[in-house]
Amino acid sequence: MEDGYQNRTAFIKGAKDIAKEVKRQASKKVGRGVDRMTDEYSKRSYSRFEEDDDFPPATQGSQDGGGGGGGGGGYYRGDSQAGGEDEDDAGGHSDSTEGHDEDDEIYEGEYQGIPRADSGTKEGLAGGPSSVKDAGGVQGFMDADGAAAAEAERRKDQEELAQQYETILQECGHGKFQWSLYFVLGLALMADGVEIFVVGFVLPSAEKDMCLSEPNKSMLGLIVYLGMMVGAFLWGSLADRIGRRQSLLISLSINSVFSFFSSFVQGYSTFLFCRLLSGVGIGGSIPIVFSYYSEFLAQEKRGEHLSWLCMFWMIGGIYASAMAWAIIPHYGWSFQMGSAYQFHSWRVFVLVCAFPSVAAIIALSAMPESPRFYLENGKHDEGWMILKQVHDTNMRAKGFPERVFSVTTIKTVKQMDELVDTGTDTPVWRRYKLKIMSLTQQMKNNFLACFSPEYKRTTFMLMAVWFTMSFRYKP
């Protein structure tokens, strides 16, 4: 009996030992399986960071479809889903890694719904791989061969962006947004037209108040056009650097401020100076208005709507004529304080003519920057958001609020000469000096580009056309 009890106890102990060993071996197997699955998942999640940084070209199918997502170019939402289940097998894009950069940090646009930009864009924003820093902490430039290669790559990027941008504008459509911008920019163009006509209307009255001689009257008519020439050169160059909307706001502000001051100044010299600076603002506004508006228009709409925009120039002339007829003959509207200060009715007219410019500034403050400018300067997220705004505004106005902006990635142009880092210990005056030098270089490059072999013939032809047309124009 006692032997049977001992045998049973030994049997139970042996069974327990066997169970422990089986459990230990099973745990080992499960652990190895989990490790393999983790390694495989990590490879699949981060494999897209090892892909080539070159931007995938748009396919003909995606362009013809207007961004419908059927092609394989990678620009539209349908492109990223075309692979189906094969996407996971290929180790491609994964939802688990959407919105992360190379260091697996949170992408700043992720919570705003902005698609991640092309990885090559970051390199361009940092000044490109061929740029180096000198001892002073200032971004250096490439040698001649590297600069030529980078410029060729930049031109290639610009051509690809131009093609894709036209396709995106087709998807955004033409509607409420473009018409809203049309009237805002028309108001800006109207303000410029008014200022051109001001001197012609006030000259008969101003010559009596200021005792102007014939040479002085001629200079008063000339000074505005001289300011326009300087302003067109200055603001036309800066618009490629600080933005179309920003340059237009500054030029309109200069126009309105000095138009306001010119209605109060008493001396001929100060009045002449104010009209000169007002002309600087006018000269910047006119070309930027057309460039700004054209970058929101598809190719088939561009010529038609830019021609319609010129209508506001004539509306400005009508406004100036009506205000001159209604205000200047009413001498009772004037007042004076002794013999030192006189404010006659023609000065009221000059003041009223500044109102369209102020109204244009207020209206323009509600409009976005040109997305083409952002994309040309490597700012993918800002450009994408504005194009989405254009698309959504037009679709809601047309009764299709459910339509989704299908573009996921837009080509951006790499920047070569951007001052990225001037060092934390660099004096403030030196930073501003470098910025001014950079802007000056930008203006010089833009001017020389107009006379490059590629554009020289067109530049001279346009100069001849505008020069001869000016003889037919009498404000």
**Alpha-carbon dihedral of residues 74, 80, 82, 87, nearest 10 degrees?**
120
Q: Model confidence over 188-206: pLDDT tens digits?
A: 999 988 988 888 888 888 8
Strand partners, 139: 133
Question: Rounded distance, CA 194 to CA 267, Å?
Answer: 23
68: pLDDT strictly greater than 50: no
Residues 206 and 323 both lie in one domain? yes
Strand partners, 133: 139
411: pLDDT strictly greater than 70: yes
Q: Which domain holds residue 443?
A: 418-475
Give the pLDDT confidence score for residue 284 in this predicted structure.
85
Residues 342 and 307 both lie in one domain? yes
Q: In the structure encoding, which two tokens stand for residue 220, read together?
A: 């008063």
Residue 437 lies in a domain: yes
- Mean pLDDT for the chain overall: 75
Residue 78 lies in a domain: no
CATH number, residue 208: 1.20.1250.20
Q: Model confidence over 115-125: pLDDT tens digits?
A: 555 544 433 33
* CA-only gyration radius of the chain, Å: 33
pTM of the model: 0.68
Q: How far is C-alpha 169 from the chain's CA centre?
A: 15
Confidence at 186, pLDDT banded by 50, 70, 90 = very high
Residue 398 lies in a domain: yes
Whether residue 327 contacts residue 236, with contact meaning beta carbons closer than 8 Å, is answered with no
Residues 257 and 353 both lie in one domain? yes
Which of residues 402, 426, 450 is at a domain's end? 402
Q: Nearest 5°: CA angle at 276, between 272 and 279?
A: 140
Share of the chain above pLDDT 90, in %: 27
Helical ranges in 423-474 per DSSP H? 428-450, 456-469
Residues 386 and 288 both lie in one domain? yes
Question: Rounded distance, CA 221 to CA 195, Å?
Answer: 12
Residues 396 and 422 both lie in one domain? no
Q: How many CB atoms sit inside 10 A of residue 79's CB? A: 23
Number of domains in the chain: 2
Which of residues 402, 437, 456 is at a domain's end? 402
402: pLDDT strictly greater than 80: yes
Q: How many CB atoms sit inside 10 A of residue 48's CB? A: 14
9: pLDDT strictly greater than 90: no
Which of residues 351, 376, 402 is at a domain's end? 402
Residues 449 and 354 both lie in one domain? no
Residue 37 lies in a domain: no
Residue 73 lies in a domain: no
84: pLDDT strictly greater than 70: no
Residues 460 and 347 both lie in one domain? no
What average pLDDT score do residues 349-364 get? 93
What average pLDDT score do residues 125-145 get? 43
What average pLDDT score do residues 430-448 get? 80
Give the Å distances, CA to CA, from 451 to 125, 158, 374, 447, 470.
28, 19, 25, 7, 22
Confidence at 412, pLDDT banded by 50, 70, 90 = confident
Residue 250 lies in a domain: yes
Amino acid at 12: I
Residues 465 and 380 both lie in one domain? no
Residues 377 and 454 both lie in one domain? no
Q: How many CB atoms sit inside 10 A of residue 463's CB? A: 11
Question: Rounded distance, CA 55 to CA 282, Å?
Answer: 41
Residues 314 and 197 both lie in one domain? yes
Q: Bigger pLDDT: 374 or 96?
A: 374
Any idea what DSSP says for residue 296? T
Residue 362 lies in a domain: yes
Q: Model confidence over 229-264: pLDDT tens digits?
A: 888 888 887 888 888 999 999 999 999 999 999 888
Residues 391 and 360 both lie in one domain? yes
CA nearest neighbour of 349 among 463, 133, 238, 200: 200
Residues 294 and 430 both lie in one domain? no
Residue 300 lies in a domain: yes
Question: Rounded distance, CA 194 to CA 314, Å?
Answer: 9
